[in-house]
Chain A
Amino acid sequence: MWVVEAERLTKTFVTGWLRPRRREALAGVSLRVPPGAIYGIVGPNGAGKTTLLSILATILTPDSGRATLLGHDLTREPAAVRQRLNLVSGHANFVWSLQVAEILDFYARLYGLTARERRVRVEELLEWCELTPYRAVPYNELSTGLKQRLALAKGLVNRPELLLLDEPTVGLDPDMALKVRAQIAELRARERVTILLCTHYMREAEQLCDQVAFLKRGLILAEGAPADLKRRLGLGDAIRLRITGRPADLAGLPGLLHWAVQDGLLTCTVDEAATRLPSLLGMLDARGVRVEELRVTEPDLEDVFVEYAKPHH
């Protein structure tokens, strides 16, 4: 059974009364998320990531399409869905003058936790998110990082089986972002939760996600494991060599995708560096080209993102 199964979800926002303006946010998104996965949704600004997550969180109704979450139909059984999921967003906000523990207690009440359950859960989350020293601090006096940790704690208050994370590290300094990412990675094992993560940080998606979907203009352009996506786009590994002498045509090299020489730097993109490097070095040696320095880099998700963000996709 899939935790999330969405079929052709569409959403168009209409603004203005006299002259309504229409903006298509989702143009037919389908996706399936297996249990226990961390599934990433990446894409440029305005791609429809937040719209998709908001629909799955039941705070936005799709115009068409259908989705089941944890076996419940999103539009027919929203209450059952809400009981079993939660949402954490970047730049989260809560009632400003409430204190940290009060905020967690308020949301725990909304999920129907009894007094005893609330006490245990709130303490557990305060401790795990390292918020215990700040339990009596009003929300508006917290730093951005602490606010984000509180948002994460609030997202776990009902022990969700599905956690939706919308840009959870946006605006955080690198230290805090690392900490939040580590907590997200830990969550899967600790809470046995399936995670749907929207982000535009490719490194975050690459580090955390088993599967990634690229969303652009309201459509999923590609979906798969990060390594698969790189292979599918034929981005290949880059071998950069500082050389003396100019090599003749390298076109005959097996697995070579493209190559270029500039200012004594030869850059070859090959399908797999580990396999192709010996033949490349052999070919250069045979042609009297001396290699002074060599560096191999694998493409990262950022390259995949850049490729998919190009207009022709």
Chain B
Amino acid sequence: MRSHTIKVGAFFIRNLLMTRRNAFTLFEVLFWPAVGLASVGLLTRFLALDADTTAFVLTGTIALSVVQVCQLDVAYGLLFDMWSKSVKHQFLAPIGVWHLVAGSWAFGAVRGTLAFLVMAVFSAWAFGFDFLKAGLLPLGLFLLGCLFSAAAVGVLVCILILCFGYRAEVAAWSLVSMLMVLCGVYYPVELLPSPLAVAGRALPLTGILEGFRAGYGFSPAGSAPFAEGFAWGLAYLVAGGLALQWAARTARKSGMLLRLSE
């Protein structure tokens, strides 16, 4: 157990060091989420939305930013090595892919929580968003659900990198946009055409958003949206973990680990 903690800690510490070294990571955590929130918040003003509908929209913006910040950290567990062409050294060590995901995600959760706090305070100050209205437990579940969803997205990015190499790098920044369309970030999922709505219901973030928005008077489609969201999240994480192991095996077979190295 101690050895596993040390290995997981390696990725946590590395992401921490890289964040401290790079001023641009502050933009990821503070600047871009704030810019996104400001523009969407101003749009709600322009459209003269009521407080609850404003909360609906801002909740989506906050969720999307938290997922993006946290999933990037998971992806960084592999991307830092890919960019510096040192992937093989990591896979040469006696670690499992879950060490990489767990360590990077844990640091992503710290950054994601920081981004959440900044956005919550900013939205309350700038747009009067009462983020405590739904209650502390739903708020905690909402944040946890976003971080949980981020883990699944980050794992998917890692799988794509191990399968397609440099060509998949863009997935780290673009996959979240897919979530935006399918999870009902800015609208209820029911507005989507039928097959897409079904797909949207099968994504963890959909349930998490519905569960939190219930506190603002928006009825969820299911009876236990949080449970649904976490169940989907767990299913994706287990499936993602297995797929990531398969991707690592495939990368050893195809020589991708060497192509991503010196």
Evaluate contact between B6 and A112: CB separation under 8 angstroms: yes
Given contacts A59-B92, A106-B14, list 8 more A-B pairs with CB under 8 A: A60-B257, A93-B262, A94-B84, A97-B21, A105-B13, A107-B93, A109-B9, A154-B89
Least CB distance from B162 to A in Å reads 12
Evaluate contact between B249 and A61: CB separation under 8 angstroms: yes
Evaluate contact between A93 and B84: CB separation under 8 angstroms: yes
Contacts of A60 in B (CB 8 A): 252-253, 255, 257-258
Does B17 interact with chain A (Cβ within 8 Å)? yes
Evaluate contact between A89 and B94: CB separation under 8 angstroms: no
Evaluate contact between B89 and A107: CB separation under 8 angstroms: yes
Least CB distance from B201 to A in Å reads 33
Contacts of A89 in B (CB 8 A): 262
Evaluate contact between A57 and B252: CB separation under 8 angstroms: no
Evaluate contact between B89 and A94: CB separation under 8 angstroms: yes
A59-B94 contact in complex given A97-B18, A109-B6, A110-B7, C-beta closer than 8 Å: no
Evaluate contact between A106 and B10: CB separation under 8 angstroms: yes
Partner of A95, one of B18, B88, B92: B18
Write 20 A-B pairs (CB below 8 A) sorted by A numbering: A14-B254, A54-B88, A54-B255, A58-B252, A59-B257, A59-B261, A60-B255, A86-B92, A93-B261, A93-B262, A94-B84, A95-B18, A95-B86, A98-B17, A102-B14, A106-B13, A109-B6, A109-B7, A110-B10, A110-B94
Does B22 interact with chain A (Cβ within 8 Å)? yes
A87-B94 contact in complex given A92-B262, A97-B18, A97-B22, C-beta closer than 8 Å: no
Does A13 interact with chain B (Cβ within 8 Å)? yes
Evaluate contact between B94 and A112: CB separation under 8 angstroms: yes
A95-B81 contact in complex given A59-B257, A82-B92, A154-B89, C-beta closer than 8 Å: yes
Give the residue name and chain of the A residue nearest to B91 (CB).
A59
Does A262 interact with chain B (Cβ within 8 Å)? no
Evaluate contact between A83 and B94: CB separation under 8 angstroms: yes
Does A91 interact with chain B (Cβ within 8 Å)? yes
Evaluate contact between B6 and A114: CB separation under 8 angstroms: yes
Does B90 interact with chain A (Cβ within 8 Å)? yes
Does A96 interact with chain B (Cβ within 8 Å)? yes
Evaluate contact between B86 and A82: CB separation under 8 angstroms: no
Please indicate which of the listed interface residues B6, B83, B261 has the most CB atoms of chain A within 10 Å of its own CB: B6
Contacts of B91 in A (CB 8 A): 59
Least CB distance from A157 to B in Å reads 9
Contacts of B86 in A (CB 8 A): 92-95
Give the residue name and chain of the A residue nearest to B87 (CB).
A59
A98-B94 contact in complex given A58-B252, A59-B252, A59-B257, C-beta closer than 8 Å: no
Evaluate contact between A110 and B17: CB separation under 8 angstroms: no
Docked pose: A54 CA to B249 CA in angstroms: 14
Least CB distance from A228 to B in Å reads 33
0/1 per residue, B1-30, Cβ < 8 Å to A?
011001101100110011001100000000
Evaluate contact between A95 and B93: CB separation under 8 angstroms: no
Contacts of B22 in A (CB 8 A): 97
Docked pose: A18 CA to B235 CA in angstroms: 34
Docked pose: A83 CA to B94 CA in angstroms: 5
Does A250 interact with chain B (Cβ within 8 Å)? no
Does B224 interact with chain A (Cβ within 8 Å)? no
Does B95 interact with chain A (Cβ within 8 Å)? yes
Give the residue name and chain of the B residue nearest to A54 (CB).
B258
0/1 per residue, B198-241, Cβ < 8 Å to A?
00000000000000000000000000000000000000000000
Contacts of A102 in B (CB 8 A): 14, 17
Least CB distance from A199 to B in Å reads 16
Partner of A87, one of B6, B92, B254: B92
A95-B84 contact in complex given A79-B94, A82-B93, C-beta closer than 8 Å: yes
Does A70 interact with chain B (Cβ within 8 Å)? no
Does B122 interact with chain A (Cβ within 8 Å)? no
Please indicate which of the listed interface residues A13, A60, A87 has the most CB atoms of chain B within 10 Å of its own CB: A60
A57-111 with Cβ < 8 A to chain B: 57-61, 79-80, 82-83, 86-87, 89-98, 102, 105-107, 109-111
Least CB distance from B163 to A in Å reads 12
Docked pose: A139 CA to B18 CA in angstroms: 13
Contacts of A90 in B (CB 8 A): 262
Evaluate contact between A87 and B253: CB separation under 8 angstroms: no
Least CB distance from B175 to A in Å reads 22
Docked pose: A198 CA to B95 CA in angstroms: 26
Contacts of A61 in B (CB 8 A): 249, 252-253
Contacts of A114 in B (CB 8 A): 2, 6
Contacts of B253 in A (CB 8 A): 60-61
Contacts of A106 in B (CB 8 A): 10, 13-14
Least CB distance from B235 to A in Å reads 27
Does A27 interact with chain B (Cβ within 8 Å)? no
0/1 per residue, B243-262, Cβ < 8 Å to A?
00000010011110110011
Contacts of A59 in B (CB 8 A): 88, 91-92, 252, 257-258, 261
